[in-house]
Amino acid sequence: MKTFLVSFIIALSCNFSYSQEITIECNFLYTRITDSSTSAYLCMLSKQQISATATSIKFTGNHQSGKTDASVLGFLITDCNVPSFNYVLMDAMHSQFPNIKYIEVFASNVQEIVPGAFNRSANSEKILKVHFLFNNIKTLADGAFSGLTSVENFRFVSNRLQTVSEDAFKGMKSVTRLDLQYNHIKVLPKNVFKSMFLLGSIDISNNLIEVIDGEIFDGNEMLQYIYISYNQIKAIGRRFFAGLYQFNDISAYNNLCVSNTFRYREAAMRGFEKCFDNYDILFP
């Protein structure tokens, strides 16, 4: 009985999910930023659990020589258990590390991004890069990333994503690269990318998309590179390339109505004729 009681107390003290106010240790280090040749001073959380019911979070750890909380430019969460990416986590991050520019959440069992989590601090405007990779986020609600007005590079890869609300990316006006590949997306709302005026590259390959509205890229006049390979696309609206005056290349392998790569707008429009015809039949 004594052995059992001691074991229970030890387990309880190590499991953050039983505490409302939690302390989490950062491993402060220099490392290369993903998709960049730049290195930055980061707070890395690894093998830790952050309860969705936590009311406050305090980050601890030993800084490298000459560094302070104000020196931290990136936040890396890897191999943790963070079921809810919410305002408590973001408030703690911003209040302790006011100069964060990079956020990456890798294989940490995130199941939801609470709308408004990024929109409670003006410091969110400093964030330039956000990556969610290998999590379990099935839905992106309206306003999920509200407040991230300066993010340029946004990757949301291998998260089992199924549903993207029309205003999920509302306000993300600085995004130039968007990566949504390796999810389970079937439908993309017509206006889902309308806030991304500077979008230059988009990757929605390796999903389950069947039909694409012809006006999906209305307003994305800077778009040059489009990747839609390995979906189940059978129909695309005829206005798909309308307004894409900077268009350079589209990769569309392994779809039902098209399977090729095309350079230049005129060649692509000819190559997508079957997709356009199918759309006209489905939506006369």
Instruction: List the CATH number of the domain containing 256.
Output: 3.80.10.10
Q: Is the pLDDT of residue 4 over 70?
A: no
Q: Is residue 130 part of a domain?
A: yes
Count of domains observed in the chain: 2
pLDDT band at 35 (very low <50, low <70, confident <90, very high): confident
Q: Is residue 159 part of a domain?
A: no
Q: What is the 3-state secondary structure (H, E, C) of 215-272?
A: CCCCCCCCCCEEECCCCCCCEECHHHHCCCCCCCEEECCCCCCCCCEEECHHHHHHHC
pLDDT band at 110 (very low <50, low <70, confident <90, very high): very high
Based on its alpha-carbon atoms, the radius of gyration of the chain, rounded to whole angstroms, reads 21
Indicate whether 106 and 217 sit together in one domain: no
Q: What is the pLDDT of residue 34?
A: 77
Query: 212-259, pLDDT tens digit by residue?
Result: 999 999 999 999 999 999 999 999 999 999 999 999 999 999 999 999
Indicate whether 88 and 24 sit together in one domain: yes
Q: Is residue 116 part of a domain?
A: yes
Task: Name 42's bridge partners.
Answer: 29, 74
Q: Report the distance separating Cα 111 and Cα 81, nearest Å.
A: 10
How much is the mean pLDDT over the chain? Answer: 92
Indicate whether 75 and 180 sit together in one domain: no
Indicate whether 29 and 145 sit together in one domain: yes
Indicate whether 92 and 199 sit together in one domain: no
> Half-sphere exposure of 34 toward its Cβ, with a 13 Å CA cutoff?
18
Domain range spanning residue 78?
15-153
pLDDT band at 21 (very low <50, low <70, confident <90, very high): confident
Q: What is the pLDDT of residue 32?
A: 83
Indicate whether 27 and 141 sit together in one domain: yes
Q: What is the DSSP letter of 147?
A: T
| Cα–Cα nearest to 249, from 273, 227, 231, 269 | 227
pLDDT band at 207 (very low <50, low <70, confident <90, very high): very high
Q: Is residue 73 part of a domain?
A: yes
- Percent of the chain surpassing pLDDT 70: 93
Pull the structure tokens for residue 174.
Answer: 């600085």
Q: Is the pLDDT of residue 10 over 70?
A: no
3-class secondary-structure state, position 151: coil
Q: Is the pLDDT of residue 66 over 90?
A: yes
Taking the model in full, what pTM does it have? 0.90
| Cα–Cα nearest to 162, from 138, 182, 141 | 138
Q: Is residue 170 part of a domain?
A: no
Indicate whether 20 and 135 sit together in one domain: yes
Mean pLDDT value of segment 37-63: 93
Q: What is the pLDDT of residue 188?
A: 98
Indicate whether 225 and 145 sit together in one domain: no
Q: Is residue 61 part of a domain?
A: yes
Indicate whether 144 and 23 sit together in one domain: yes
Indicate whether 196 and 147 sit together in one domain: no
Q: What is the pLDDT of residue 17?
A: 43
Q: Is residue 115 part of a domain?
A: yes
Indicate whether 102 and 200 sit together in one domain: no
H or E, element range at 4:
helix 2-14
Q: Is residue 246 part of a domain?
A: yes
Indicate whether 148 and 274 sit together in one domain: no
